Amino acid sequence: MYRSHVLVCGGTGCTSSGSLKVIDALNSEIKKNGLDDEVQVVETGCHGLCALGPIMMVYPEGTLYTRVSDKDVPEIVSEHLLKGRPVKRLIYDETVTDQGIRSLNETNFYKKQTRIALRNCGVINPENIEEYIGTGGYEALGKVLTTMTPDDVIKVLTDSGLRGRGGAGFPTGRKWMFAKGNKADQKYVCCNADEGDPGAFMDRSVLEGDPHVVLEGMAIAGYTIGSTQGYIYVRAEYPIAVQRLQIAIDQAHEYGMLGKNIFDTGFDFDIELRLGAGAFVCGEETALMHSIEGERGEPRPRPPFPAVKGLFGKPTILNNVETWANVPQIILKGADWFASMGTEKSKGTKVFALGGKINNTGLVEIPMGTTLREIIFDIGGGIPNGKKFKAAQTGGPSGGCISAENLDVPIDYDNLIAIGSMMGSGGLIVMDEDNCMVDIAKFFLEFTVDESCGKCSPCRIGTKRMLEYLTKITEGKATMEDLDKLEELCYAVKDNSLCALGQTAPNPVLSTMRYFKDEYIAHIRDKKCPAGVCKALIGFHIDKDKCRGCTMCARNCPADAISGSVKQPHVIDAQKCIKCGTCMDVCKFGAIYKE
């Protein structure tokens, strides 16, 4: 028995900021101080507070340290682990009160969250199956195999109201029912872990922090639809996730949770990994299945749907990582428990990756029906530097922008579609007054054009023409007629593309035109970018009354576009200026402005 456990985040975010060095330093200092038998260091998954990494949690006190470096470790070991005196300068400030250290669950970031898919992330060692079992892992699989029929499982999932968390929101129970009802000599269960949205890291965090929950959910599905083989399609850019998934699969085999005759019930089920090369279109289910088969990742027309003819031409179900992570808890706690959370048509919780102009960048799991205002200002801590909220993009390149007028709309599948966006897999990018919405739409279109597989002409050609119109607008070369043509083209691409990539590609454009049309008009009629982002429409100037002639701007200008004598007002040559903004960054007197 250990008297203390030190949990250090080993997710991608924290490892990139040095958490592995912290772990090495901890083990070294603990050994040096003779604490080997008293203190255990545990490498976990993501805690959620990604911008504050490396994260360290010390139990049983529940003390959370943030931005820990390996140089801080000797002090933590000698003061906290040896003498019982927490190092206050490193403690997460939200937990510090006049009465002492409060629970993490009482902080603004955590108190409105309900963690189901993320329940084990940051809590257990994802590379130790016994820690997963110790939190109730594989109990749901045992319950299903020994006490439930496939129809019982489908009824529980249907009554729970669980909908696919990959973006489309199709009822999970109904999908499984379709696959179960189709007779075949082989069926397949697939996990979509090909997370490609810019700014999205929900699935990656679950795979890195709790890989066994995905295996358990897939095994339950295998029993339910009559499948003996599962595949996890995960992008190769997720090396930590891939490594931990393989470890989990090997351990599950060793403990009899995968393979032959699971729980001595006669049920056989196995899972293999397939690595994707990072094609966004492979998030579409039929393109993903083609890739698993070794073919080019392209979608195919539907029907037939995968539940009838999917992987290798056999009945197949495919759900994303977050959906699988919900299944075991629903089986254990019941449909009513899950259905008690959320809204009438969107039950349970949703994981979001908060990014962009937000103070608390990270991973959150909130009940469906929570408003965007609560997510951004209560959980996310608001906008940095006192800037005003402008918009939030949900659903990545497939979603749309939510404006300030919709901050209080309860977030669920139907409400987001009604206001011109969509749930998507869960990326949530926050923008402030310094963001140009035309430029944002252009950014997502550039991504879509690069990621289009090119199979159908509405997407292959249409998205390129849309990007050309947006480029003309941001360069001040467009007309109001071009704006009308752009909108018409958006609907043509939306209505005629083969798969969801093309069908949703116009969403960022349509939503920004809906809520920020004045910015489009300013770019076209006034040849101005109100946010000062589009380079072709802005210029840098020096206020001669504020300039002190310190020469800092001239010395740092990479284009030698600034001239002037010492202690005399300087000037910028507009012909030479490359509009990089360096001069504004280095000016200490606020003398440089752009318009």
Note the pLDDT tens digit of each residue in 220-231: 999 999 999 999
Band (pLDDT 50/70/90 cuts) for residue 99 is confident
Question: For residues 213 and 220, what is the distance between their CA atoms, to the nearest angstrom?
Answer: 11
Encode burial over 29-68: b for 16+ CB neighbours within 10 A, e otherwise.
bbeeeebeeebbbbbbbbbbbbbbbbbbbbeeeebbbbeb
Nearest in space to 58 (alpha carbons), one of 77, 32, 31: 77
Give one DSSP letter per residue of 335-381, joined into a string.
Answer: HHHHHTSB-SSSBSEEEEEEEES-SS-EEEEEETT-BHHIIIIIIS-
Per domain, the residue ranges of the chain are 4-111, 136-338, 349-432, 437-526, 539-594
9, pLDDT greater than 80: yes
User: CA Rg, the chain, in Å?
Assistant: 26
Structure tokens at 595: 């318009």
Asked whether residue 420 carries a pLDDT value surpassing 90, the answer given is no
> Distance (Å, rounded) from C-alpha 363 to C-alpha 380?
10
Least confident of 271-275, 407-411, 422-426, 503-507: 422-426
Structure-model confidence comparison of residues 101 and 323, the more confident one:
323
Rounded Cα distance between 62 and 41, Å, is: 14
The strand pairing partners of 366, in sequence order, are 350
Pairing relationship of beta strands 571-572 and 562-563 according to DSSP bridges: antiparallel
Pairing of strands 96-97, 63-65: unpaired
Q: What is the pLDDT of residue 304?
A: 92
User: With bands split at pLDDT 50, 70 and 90, how would you rate the model's confidence at 160?
Assistant: very high
Q: What angle do the packed helices 507-515 and 437-451 form, to 10 degrees?
A: 170
Q: List C-alpha distances in Å: 449 to 307, 464, 512.
A: 30, 6, 18
Amino acid (one-letter) located at 334: G
Q: Using alpha carbons, list the distances in angstroms from residue 67 to 208, 238, 333, 476.
A: 20, 23, 36, 44
Averaged pLDDT score across all residues of the chain: 94
CATH architecture label of 4-111: 3-Layer(aba) Sandwich (3.40)
Compute the distance between CA of residue 446 and CA of residue 444 in angstroms, rounded to an integer: 5
Q: What is the pLDDT of residue 277?
A: 87
Encode pLDDT of 559-581 as tens digits.
999 999 999 999 999 889 998 99
Residue 97's pLDDT is 84
Q: At the top level of CATH, which class does the domain 136-338 belong to?
A: alpha beta
Encode pLDDT of 175-201 as tens digits: 999 999 999 999 999 999 998 888 889
Please tell me the pTM assigned to this model: 0.92
Model confidence at 16: pLDDT above 90: yes
User: E strands, 389-479, where?
Assistant: 389-394, 400-403, 427-432
- Chain-centre distance for alpha carbon 590: 37
Paired residues of 234 in beta bridges: 193, 275
Positive or negative torsion for Cα 521, 527, 532, 536: positive
With b for 16 or more beta-carbon neighbours within 10 A and e for fewer, the 549-564 pattern comes to: bbbbbbeebeeebbeb
pLDDT of amino acid 302: 87
Scan for tokens 């603004």, then name that residue.
108
437-526 folds as de novo design (two linked rop proteins) (1.20.1440)
Task: Work out the pLDDT band at 273, boundaries 50, 70, 90.
Answer: very high
Percent of the chain residues topping a pLDDT of 90:
87
Query: Among the listed ranges 29-38, 101-110, 210-219, which one has the minimum average pLDDT value?
Result: 101-110
CATH code: domain 539-594 is: 3.30.70.20
Q: Note the pLDDT of residue 423.
A: 84
3-class state of residue 230 by DSSP: strand
The residue-averaged pLDDT of 200-213 equals 95
Q: Six-digit token pair at 450?
A: 């690069």
In angstroms, rounded to a whole number, what is the distance separating the alpha carbons of residues 516 and 536?
A: 20
The model's pLDDT over 446-474, given as tens digits with 9 standing for 90+, comes to: 999 999 999 999 999 999 999 999 999 99
CA dist 386 → 375, 403, 406, 434, 440 (Å)? 17, 18, 20, 12, 21
Q: Which amino acid is at 224?
A: T
Mean pLDDT of 376-385: 94
Model confidence at 167: pLDDT above 80: no
CATH number of 349-432: 3.10.20.600
Angle at 81 between CA 124 and CA 113, to 5 degrees: 40
